[in-house]
Amino acid sequence: MGLAVGVIGGGQLARMMIPAAIRLGVELRVLAESEHASAGLAATAVGDHRDAETVLGFARGVDVVTFDHEHVPQPVLAALVAAGATVRPGPDALRHAQDKLEMRARLEELGVPQPEWAAVSSAAELAAFLAEHGGVAVVKTPRGGYDGKGVRVVRDAGEAADWLAAGPPLLVEERVGFVRELAQQIARRPGGESALYPLVESTQRDGVCAEVIAPAPHGGRVAQAAARIATSIADGLGVTGMLAVELFETDDERVLVNELAMRPHNSGHWSIEGAVTDQFEQHLRAVLDLPLGSTELRAPWTVMVNVLGGPADGDLDRCRRLALADQPTAALHLYGKDPRPGRKIGHVTACGPDLDDAAFVARAAAAAFD
Amino acid sequence: MGLAVGVIGGGQLARMMIPAAIRLGVELRVLAESEHASAGLAATAVGDHRDAETVLGFARGVDVVTFDHEHVPQPVLAALVAAGATVRPGPDALRHAQDKLEMRARLEELGVPQPEWAAVSSAAELAAFLAEHGGVAVVKTPRGGYDGKGVRVVRDAGEAADWLAAGPPLLVEERVGFVRELAQQIARRPGGESALYPLVESTQRDGVCAEVIAPAPHGGRVAQAAARIATSIADGLGVTGMLAVELFETDDERVLVNELAMRPHNSGHWSIEGAVTDQFEQHLRAVLDLPLGSTELRAPWTVMVNVLGGPADGDLDRCRRLALADQPTAALHLYGKDPRPGRKIGHVTACGPDLDDAAFVARAAAAAFD
């Protein structure tokens, strides 16, 4: 029999693993949240990823279990491992993508550059951190945040009172004066072989990734620093699969780690058209311990623009027709999701020898969905 | 609700439409021959494409019916149309891809250059054709042939005696002294909008496509002729969807039509990596009457090599690992089919600025499956 990968979570990341699995000739099985999940086509089970029995039942018979998101609780992961399942990335690596306090503490041990930070459990501790950092800081709930959720810029400890009252310590970080955000993708196999992607520049709007340019313009020195950082983290944490390291480039040319994701990531969608091996196929190769593919660029410039929200009238058919008609060189990716304000329902990619042209094409095609 | 395409036939062509449907956000439903069909992932029905009731049941609720192969009988197609289904390509176009005698007669009316041919029903008629064409000819069963099956080079009418005895007239063609084989892909929407792909060169071994180079080296004048021919045929026959025109380039620089296929075709697999819009997405766009995508090359050279047969010991996992390890820049496509001598079980594509390099990579990766 052939190889089978089980993916926990049926979002667009699992959806975009399907073409990669088809190409490689491996079976992809998805544990989806609902029958209408984005990756529903490959769903072999529908259920709750927090329920150990559901997850154990799903994992039976697959060669490796991997993830669409990082929300599977550690006890469930432990049960999987205890049952003999191969889980990649493993629980010990994954907890650094699940808990931002664990991540900060471990990166400190590894000597990876990051913003100044502290764990705070009281208004007094938060006030002390604010006083030491110019009166402003970024407070994060260590778990469960995404796309700007669970993140607040605060100038007074009272602004985090509700989160502090909820109990567990919060992560507080200096507010970094950054000139831009970058992302570094790296794939790593169980034995340690790894493959770095070109550094990319990402633009966020309202805490959500809006646009990615590959490679990051004027990368130079920061690209070398980002590569070193991502390699240190992948090796230091023993990551298997894709790792995305979101970075700040500061106004004094430092590169600091913002966030980690141990799976294909929005900042790597450009690779479907822009790299010889895309992040979804690379993730499957890495978790299956297959040889990694080339991460070379396929075009001088690739620009990825997210389709956020979608049309207010819900008429995706009309928007798709418009996008395809207007921009015949754009690559459109829809996620099978209903329009809803702020929701990531797709993305558009354009490649070419000229950055401005590629950006125009991708933005224009995405704008057809406004 | 979104758009839904029904594909009759669950082979690798339907399989490779799945990623395109995922990208476009349209639903793909496949009527497969068996649960283990290559496109089984998207199968919503398993049954016989020659059975009208099966096909009508499958087609209910889809926006358009299209094909993985041309073997659906005309009465079944007529029943579909009578039931109100949208069928693309339509039965009147498709019969020219189903019956080589109908194809030859219609191309003659259209003034499209092709080998000299005749319909023969007896040994005497075949002998007469042989006598007029240097004592050698190519005899074809008008229906059901593929990959060299249903084709014989004969020097004596007796060599086709079994086929003649079977009843229906045969197609006999002059044996063309060709210097190479070419293929021209074109997509056409119902309203007539069409998009030509670059002309490609194909190499056959034992009547089966072995390798494709895009674009055809030294295309020049023949590329213009091929484009004119494909456009004439697509318009003249009212094709909707992808049309592949297989061509002979003769030693006196003529271009003659060999075969037609009204669907994605092996000679167009290179387009997955090599063109901005691949033939599978283009086929879906065309049959859904969506705007067509750009057919521009994404690299100066793309080489596609078929994986034929596969390992004698059946161990695809080992071969896949070897291919990926040896050629990290190759794009591997496996079809989920068990190895069997001569069977198309996958293909490999490589792109780049140098034709020899791309050919080396694709051939080496394919050779890992020998």
Tell whether B158 and B267 lie within a shared domain.
no
In total, the C-beta contacts within 8 angstroms joining chain A to chain B are 101
* Interatomic CA distance for residues A25 and A4, integer angstroms: 9
Nearest CA-CA partner of A49 in A3, A21, A99, A14: A14
Strand partners, A297: A275
> A16, A17, A23: which to substitute to probe chain B, counting the most B Cβ within 10 Å?
A23
Distances (CA, A) of B365 to A22, A286, B329, B334: 18, 19, 10, 12
Chain A contact residues (CB < 8 Å to B): 2-3, 15-16, 18-19, 22-25, 41-42, 276-277, 285, 290-294, 296, 298-299, 316-317, 320-321, 324-325, 328-329, 331-336, 346, 351
- Cβ-based neighbour number of residue A56 at 10 Å: 16
In a domain, A92, yes or no: no
CATH number at residue B51: 3.40.50.20
Contacts of B2 in chain A (CB under 8 A): 316-317, 336
Chain B residues touching A320 at Cβ < 8 A: 24-25, 290
Mean pLDDT over residues A90-98, rounded? 96
Single out the residue in A50, A67, A87 at which a domain terminates.
A87
Are B207 and B146 part of one and the same domain?
Answer: no
In the numeric block, which tokens belong to residue B103? 């194809």
Closest CA to A49 of A9, A6, A13: A9
What is the mean predicted confidence (pLDDT) over B280-304? 98
Alpha-carbon distance of A93 to A192, in angstroms, equals 13
Identify the bridge partners of residue B307 per DSSP, sorted by sequence position.
B346
Alpha-carbon distances, residue B42 vs A22, B5, B229, B273 (angstroms): 11, 11, 35, 22
Residue B318 belongs to domain with CATH number: 3.30.470.20
Q: What is the pLDDT of residues A283-327, one digit of tens each?
A: 999 999 999 999 999 999 999 999 999 999 999 999 999 999 999
**Pairwise CA distance, residues B65 & B72, whole Å:** 12
**Is residue A110 situated within a structural domain?**
no
Supply the pLDDT for residue B166.
Answer: 87
Report yes or no on B263 lying in a domain: yes
If you write DSSP's letter for every residue of A110-170 in order, what string do you get? HT-----EEEE-SHHHHHHHHHHTTT-EEEE-SSS--TTTTEEEESSGGGGHHHHHTSSPE
Q: What is the CATH number of the domain that holds A132?
A: 3.30.1490.20
Residue type, A66: T
Q: Are residues A66 and A138 in the same domain?
A: no
Q: Do residue A304 and residue A229 come from a single domain? A: yes
pLDDT score recorded for residue B267:
98
pLDDT tens digits, residue range A114-141? Answer: 999 999 999 999 999 999 999 999 999 9
Nearest to A290 among B22, B324, B331 (CB): B324
In this prediction, residue B233 has a pLDDT band, given cuts at 50, 70 and 90, of very high
A148 pLDDT above the threshold of 80: no
Q: Which residue of A has its CA nearest to B328?
A: A293
**Identity of the residue in B19, B25, B294 whose CB atom sits nearest the CB atom of A22:** B19
Same domain, B202 and B257: yes
* A174, A195, A220 - which closes a domain: A174
On whether both B206 and B65 belong to a single domain, the answer is no
Q: How far is A345 from chain B (nearest CA, A)?
A: 10
Structure tokens at A50: 């927090």
Judge whether B334 and A24 are in contact, CB under 8 Å.
yes
Has residue A163 been placed in a domain? yes
- Contact criterion met (CB < 8 Å) for B293 and A328: yes
**Number of other CB atoms surrounding residue A36 within 10 Å:** 13
Give pLDDT, residue B145. Answer: 67
* A128 and A25 in a common domain: no
Q: Which residues are CB-contacts of B12 (< 8 A; sequence separation ≥ 6)?
A: B38, B39, B335, B337, B344
Does residue A159 form part of some domain? yes
- Residue B146 has a pLDDT of 66
Kindly state whether residues B298 and B158 are assigned to the same domain: no
For chain A, give the mean pLDDT.
96
Mean pLDDT for chain B? 96
Let me know whether B161 and B301 are in one domain. no
In a domain, A109, yes or no: no
d(CA A224, CA A219): 8
Rg (CA), chain A: 20
Buried b (16+ CB within 10 A) or exposed e, A325-334: eebbbbbbbb
Give the residue numbers spanning the domain of B150.
116-174
Q: Quick one: pLDDT at residue A277?
A: 98
Q: Band the pLDDT of B147: cuts 50, 70, 90.
A: low
Phi then psi for residue B252, to 5 deg, are -105, 30
pLDDT, average across residues B99-114: 97
Same domain, B69 and B125: no
| pLDDT for residue A147 | 67
Average pLDDT over residues A148-170: 91
Cβ contact (<8 Å) for B291 and A325? yes
Q: Is the Cβ pair B18, A19 closer than 8 Å?
A: yes
Same domain, B64 and B145: no
Query: Nearest-CA neighbor of B10 among B41, B36, B29, B38?
Result: B38
Give the largest CA-CA distance in chain A: 62
Q: Which residues lie across from A200 on neighbouring strands?
A: A183
pLDDT of residue A189 exceeding 60, the answer is yes
pLDDT reading at A228 higher than 80: yes
From the DSSP assignment, how many helices (H) and strands (E) are in chain A? 12, 17
Nearest-Cα distance to chain A for B191, in Å, is 14
Contact A329, A361 (CB under 8 A): yes
Q: Total domain count for chain B?
A: 3
Could you report the predicted ipTM of this complex, rounded to two decimals? 0.95
Chain B residues in contact with A299 by the CB 8 A cut-off are: 298
Indicate the helix (H) or strand (E) that contains A321: helix A316-326
Q: Are residues B252 and B355 in the same domain?
A: yes
Interval B195-212 mean pLDDT: 94
Length of chain A: 370
Using an 8 Å Cβ cutoff, are A249 and A255 in contact? Answer: yes
Distance from CA of B358 to the nearest CA of A (A): 13
Examine residue A361 and state whether it is found in any structural domain, yes or no: yes
pLDDT digits (tens, 9 = 90+) for A1-41: 589 999 999 999 999 999 999 999 999 999 999 999 999 99
Nearest residue to B209 via CA among B297, B140, B268:
B268
Instruction: Report the gap between the CA of B335 and the closest CA in chain A (Å).
Output: 6
CA distance B228 to B269: 22
In order, the DSSP letters of B142-168 are SSS--TTTTEEEESSGGGGHHHHHTSS
Residues of chain B positioned with their CB less than 8 A from the CB of A25: 316, 320, 334-336, 346
The better pLDDT of the pair B366, B2 is held by B366
Q: Which of B25, B293, B296 sits opposite A320 (nearest CB)?
A: B25
Q: Is A65 helix (H, G, I), strand (E, B) or coil?
A: strand
Last residue of a domain, one of B174, B198, B219: B174
3-state secondary structure of A289: coil
* Contact flag B336-A25 (C-beta cutoff 8 Å): yes
pLDDT tens for residues B265-283? 999 999 999 999 999 999 9
Residue B104 lies in a domain: no
Whole-angstrom distance, CA of residue B11 vs CA of residue B20: 15
